[in-house]
Structure 1
Amino acid sequence: MAKTKPKLHQSKNPIAENVRASNVALLQKHLATAVDITYQTKQAHWNVKGMNFIAVHKLFDELHEVTEEFVDTIAERLTALGGQAHGTVQAASENTVLEPYPLDLVNSEDHLRQLSEAYARWNAEVEKGIEEASESGDPLTEDLLTEVGRGLDKSLYFLESHFQS
């Protein structure tokens, strides 16, 4: 099923309307995923148990704060291009690239592995998005996604370090 071209608000933004529209659609997917991963991370924060509880509990809270900033940054770029940000939980569940987070996880290792998978999956999609934004001629969206990618790389490093020696 083909996505319809988003209706844009009037703007004096110098980027061509077709480029803005394609990048609004691109950013909607990343906004949905940012909302999703923000609350997947919070789900882990609320429910983690185990010997390393406090360290992992705090890590998850820090990662939640990072992804929450991505939500705002992505939504603001999307609206600057003339789009309407779809940032509700319902919109996120329809447009995220992530798998649903298991609600029965307790063990810190299980949460760490699940979040590692989610962060890696989104990071791969961000890499594709950087390329799309570059090819479309929108250096600011490309730069925004590059910033998100750097943050995801760092977060993934923090998560995966628990399994490396």
Structure 2
Amino acid sequence: MPEAFVAGLDDQTRHKMIDLLNARLADTIALTLAVKQAHWNLKGAGYIGVHELLDDVADRLRDGADLMAERASILGGHAKGTLEEAADKSTISAYPVDLEPLQDHVAALKERFMAVGEALRKAIDEAADAGDAGTEDLFTEVVRAVDKDAWFIGANATR
């Protein structure tokens, strides 16, 4: 395992946090790709606003993924952020590739944002229980962005 750059965390805690970071990294990568799938394929009233919003959402998700990946490295692990890892390890449901109506994309994305938000909240608790305030704070930062983007996306629902 690479060298860790943190003080005050034992090896068991570091390993647990690295695994937790990589699990949430997989979900975040999968969610980012779902957002881009919707961005490329949605159609209907309100198209341009949602299309542009989803580019910004994908950027924020990539920022969160970057934070998690870097933290895993800081803790002495490896960031596992490949497409293959995300496909294998993500806990969110696969995004449908044949959706077109904007409202169907909004519903599908909202469902996935809620699932990722829930997983991040559990990760906050796990990091707190492990005594890793740095990782706990990182997950809190990421979940705030996920919550905000879920709200932005959900505000486009008409049903």
> CA separation in 2, counterparts of 1:29 and 1:84?
12
CA–CA distance in structure 2, aligned partners of residues 70 and 126 of structure 1: 11
- Aligned partner of 1:87 in structure 2 is 81
Q: 1 CA distance for matches of 2:50 and 2:143?
A: 22
Aligned match of 1:54: 48
After superposition, residues 100-115 of structure 1 pair within 5 angstroms as 100-115=94-109
Distance (Å, rounded) in 2 between the aligned partners of 1:46 and 1:91 = 23
Whole-Å separation in 2 of the counterparts to 1:156 and 1:12: 34
Shift of 1:71: 1.2
Q: In the alignment, does 2:115 pair up with 1:121?
A: yes
Q: Distance in 2 between matches of 1:36 and 1:139?
A: 26
Aligned twin of 2:150: 156
- TM-score, normalised via structure 2 length: 0.95
Cα distance, 1:93 vs structure 2: 0.6
Shift of residue 97 of structure 1?
1.3
CA distance in 2, matches of 1:12, 1:30: 21
Please point out which of 63, 66, 69 is paired with 1:72. 66
Partner of 2:124: 130
Measure the CA separation in 1 of the matches of 2:5 and 2:17.
Answer: 16
The separation in 2 between residues aligned to 1:39 and 1:101, in whole angstroms, is: 9
Structure 2 SS opposite 1:79: helix
Counterpart of 2:61 in structure 1: which amino acid?
T
Aligned 8 A contact 2:50 2:153 in 1:
no
Paired residue type of 2:54: F
How far apart, CA to CA, are the structure 2 residues paired with 1:101 and 1:164?
Answer: 21
- The aligned length equals 158
Q: List, as ranges, runs of 4+ consecutive aligned residues in structure 1 with deviation greater than 6 Å.
A: none
Give 1:31's aligned residue.
25
- Please report the RMSD computed on the Cα atoms of aligned residues, expressed in angstroms: 1.3
Partner of residue 139, structure 2: 145
Higher relative contact order (CA 8 A, sep 6+): 2
Structure 2's unaligned 5+ residue stretches are none
TM-score, length of structure 1 as denominator length: 0.92
Instruction: Tell me the percent identity.
Output: 35
Q: Deviations over 1:102-124 (max 9, x none)?
A: 00001100000000000000000
List runs of 5+ in structure 1 lacking aligned partners.
Answer: 1-7
Alignment-derived partner of residue 5 in structure 1: none
